């Protein structure tokens, strides 16, 4: 399997060659030259598989330059009941016949990003050891992605993590999750500022190409191809869990921000999984909904801060992968469209033949507001006794709008309610439940470095502590 750039300017590369990187060398996103297809017999054989077997079966089609025995060992070591609190890894909860929640948030940081990030940690360690190399991961977080990255990379050989977070701006639970890590390869840098200051520092360091190369600076952002492939697996797992045979169709509702999760669903569908609809749910940051309704993609000058903060984006970084497929995999068209986006503009496919193809890819969309979130959390708790987090509630609300009789609807649970206690209190007037092993995490000793919002100071710190 070779990987190309969505903009056509990168020589073909293998899976491990793109594993540690971010953007393709021409500024596009890396993409498989063709999606592997599962035929009837293969799907029939996969139906009986547990998570680890299924993960190996799917991921080996993409990571075919890792020897099968090595990949199997990595997958088996990643997807364990010890890490995901359940041997099903991503169990399905049925609310009523035909209406299901796919639990993706039983990992260490109680959000779906753990599913891919835990695999990435083990893949990184494997690839670095093989090449006798090291990496210093630099990132900025407002809470969620950063903690998933830290829990995936803690204790890994050849990897150090420098994670910037805004001092005093995260919830006590999120702060405790990150700052209580005592692993010597994890560095929490609490910046006196807001999240945007942290992000600006990371951008400034990454734009210093000489510094970046000299100090082996890397990232684990949501455009990482391996993360997307790891997410393909649970669409298969959920499909087999709610159907009896492979002629049935199901629909998935996906709380979306950077389009990574639903992009994995799109890939699963292209691989032959019988998915009817992929329902893209956004919050007040509705750039994706606007596209799927009108054909216009208009990244916004500003981002709304909402009660589903992990979907607060103004630009959807993985969306370019879908558009590549939508325009018939023609990199010249993608390049032209993103020249407009990268220049601060937008594009409109409404009057092109491409937009008419959106339906063929099963994509539909909708928006959920703060009031919808509260009402949905209340309704699902009263009706089914199940507590949804704010992001999952957005997906649930939009999912129901597109539900069809006779087609099972699977709503992806992207985080647990425990992470968003303020909104849960507002919706339900009570505290969210929390996994037993995380009760009292706020009382653990914390390890973090407080720094001014100063690029040079951060660079000095990285140099002094880097791998």
- Scanning residues 119 to 148, which ones bind ligand PLP (CB under 6 A)? 144
CA angle 67, 272, 14 (to 5 degrees): 30
Give the range of 34-42, 251-259, 339-347, 354-362 binding ligand PLP by CB under 6 A: 251-259
Please say which residue, 251 or 368, places its beta carbon nearer to ligand PLP: 368
> Please, what is the minimum distance in Å from the beta carbon of residue 36 to ligand PLP?
21
Give the range of 55-63, 253-261, 267-275, 449-457 binding ligand PLP by CB under 6 A: 253-261
Contact 10, 28 (CB under 8 A): yes
The label of the residue with tokens 């063709």 reads 34
State the CB neighbour count (10 A cutoff) for residue 340: 14
Picking from 271, 272, 290, the residue whose alpha carbon sits closest to that of residue 280 is: 290
> Please, what is the minimum distance in Å from the beta carbon of residue 153 to ligand PLP?
17
Contact 462, 137 (CB under 8 A): no
Picking from 106, 112, 100, the residue whose alpha carbon sits closest to that of residue 399 is: 100
Q: Is residue 391 within the footprint of ligand PLP (CB under 6 A)?
A: yes
Q: Is residue 414 within the footprint of ligand PLP (CB under 6 A)?
A: yes
Q: Alpha carbon of 392 to those of 82, 132, 149, 184: distances in Å? A: 24, 41, 21, 34
Give the range of 57-65, 69-77, 252-260, 297-305 binding ligand PLP by CB under 6 A: 252-260
Q: Is 93 a known active-site residue?
A: no
Please say which residue, 185 or 368, places its beta carbon nearer to ligand PLP: 368
Q: Can you tell me the distance from the alpha carbon of 370 to that of 383, in angstroms, rounded to the nearest whole number?
A: 20
Q: Is residue 321 within the footprint of ligand PLP (CB under 6 A)?
A: no
Q: Is residue 259 within the footprint of ligand PLP (CB under 6 A)?
A: yes
Picking from 275, 357, 321, the residue whose alpha carbon sits closest to that of residue 35 is: 321
Q: Can you tell me the distance from the alpha carbon of 165 to that of 195, in angstroms, rounded to the nearest whole number?
A: 6
Tokens of 270: 């292209």
Picking from 203, 192, 201, the residue whose alpha carbon sits closest to that of residue 452 is: 192
Q: Count CA within 13 A, CB hemisphere, residue 302.
A: 3
Please say which residue, 175 or 256, places its beta carbon nearer to ligand PLP: 256
State the CB neighbour count (10 A cutoff) for residue 339: 13
Tokens of 204: 């400034």
Please say which residue, 121 or 255, places its beta carbon nearer to ligand PLP: 255
> Please, what is the minimum distance in Å from the beta carbon of residue 70 to ligand PLP?
27
Please say which residue, 151 or 259, places its beta carbon nearer to ligand PLP: 259
- Binding characters for ligand PLP, 216-245, by CB under 6 A (x = yes): ------x-----------------------
Q: Which of 260, 331, 399, 432 binds ligand PLP (CB under 6 A)?
A: 260
Give the contacts of 114 (CB within 8 A, at least 6 positions apart): 83, 84, 105, 107, 108, 148, 151, 152
Q: Which of 19, 32, 63, 415 binds ligand PLP (CB under 6 A)?
A: 415
Contact 8, 26 (CB under 8 A): yes
- Scanning residues 11 to 50, which ones bind ligand PLP (CB under 6 A)? none
User: Which residue of the set 13, 113, 276, 459 is catalytic?
Assistant: 113
Pairing of strands 3-5, 250-255: unpaired
Q: Is residue 310 within the footprint of ligand PLP (CB under 6 A)?
A: yes
Q: Count CA within 13 A, CB hemisphere, residue 103.
A: 19
Give the range of 80-88, 255-263, 271-279, 351-359 binding ligand PLP by CB under 6 A: 255-263
> Please, what is the minimum distance in Å from the beta carbon of residue 198 to ligand PLP?
17
Q: Is residue 261 within the footprint of ligand PLP (CB under 6 A)?
A: yes
Q: Is residue 283 within the footprint of ligand PLP (CB under 6 A)?
A: no
Q: How many residues bind ligand PLP (CB under 6 A)?
A: 16
Q: Is residue 193 within the footprint of ligand PLP (CB under 6 A)?
A: no
User: Mind telling me the catalytic residues?
Assistant: 113
Give me the residues that bind ligand PLP (CB under 6 A), please. 111, 113, 144, 222, 255-261, 310-311, 391, 414-415
């Amino acid at each position: 399997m070779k990987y190309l750039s969505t903009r056509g300017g990168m020589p073909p590369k293998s899976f491990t060659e793109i594993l540690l990187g971010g953007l393709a060398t021409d500024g596009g996103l890396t993409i498989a030259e063709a999606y592997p297809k599962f035929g009837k017999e293969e799907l029939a054989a996969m139906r009986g598989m547990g998570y680890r077997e299924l993960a190996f079966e799917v991921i080996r089609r993409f990571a075919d330059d890792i020897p099968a025995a090595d990949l199997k060992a990595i997958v088996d070591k990643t997807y364990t009941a010890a890490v995901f609190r359940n041997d099903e890894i991503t169990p399905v909860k049925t609310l009523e016949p035909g209406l299901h929640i796919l639990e993706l948030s039983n990992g260490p940081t109680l959000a779906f990003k753990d599913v891919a990030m835990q695999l990435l940690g083990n893949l990184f360690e494997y690839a670095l050891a093989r090449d006798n190399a090291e990496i210093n991961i630099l990132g900025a977080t407002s809470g969620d992605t950063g903690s998933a990255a830290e829990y995936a990379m803690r204790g890994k050989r050849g990897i150090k993590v420098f994670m910037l977070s805004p001092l005093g701006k995260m919830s006590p639970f999120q702060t405790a999750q990150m700052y209580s890590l005592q692993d010597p390869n994890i560095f929490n840098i609490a910046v006196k500022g807001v999240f945007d200051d942290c992000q600006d520092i990371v951008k400034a360091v990454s734009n210093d190409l000489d510094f970046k190369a000299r100090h082996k600076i890397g990232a684990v952002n949501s455009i990482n191809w391996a993360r997307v492939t790891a997410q393909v697996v649970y669409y298969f797992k959920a499909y087999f869990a709610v159907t009896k045979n492979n002629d049935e169709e199901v629909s998935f509702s996906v709380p979306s921000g950077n389009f990574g999760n639903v992009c994995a669903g799109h890939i699963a569908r292209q691989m032959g999984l019988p998915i009817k609809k992929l329902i893209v749910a956004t919050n007040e940051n509705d750039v994706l909904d606007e596209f799927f309704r009108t054909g216009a993609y208009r990244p916004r000058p500003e981002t709304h801060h909402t009660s589903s903060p992990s979907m607060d984006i103004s630009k959807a970084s993985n969306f370019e992968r879908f558009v590549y497929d939508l325009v018939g995999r023609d990199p010249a068209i993608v390049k032209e469209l993103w020249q407009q986006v990268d220049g601060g503009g937008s594009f409109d496919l409404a009057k092109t033949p491409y937009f008419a193809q959106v339906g063929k890819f099963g994509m539909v969309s909708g928006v959920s507001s703060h009031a919808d979130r509260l009402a949905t959390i209340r309704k699902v708790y009263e009706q089914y006794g199940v507590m949804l987090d704010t992001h999952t509630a957005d997906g649930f609300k939009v999912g129901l709008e597109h539900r069809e009789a006779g087609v099972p609807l699977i709503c992806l649970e992207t985080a647990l309610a425990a992470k968003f206690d303020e909104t849960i209190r507002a919706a339900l007037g009570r505290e969210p439940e929390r996994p037993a092993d995380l009760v009292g995490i706020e009382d653990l000793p914390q390890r973090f470095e407080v720094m001014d919002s100063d690029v040079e100071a951060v660079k000095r710190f990285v140099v002094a502590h880097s791998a």
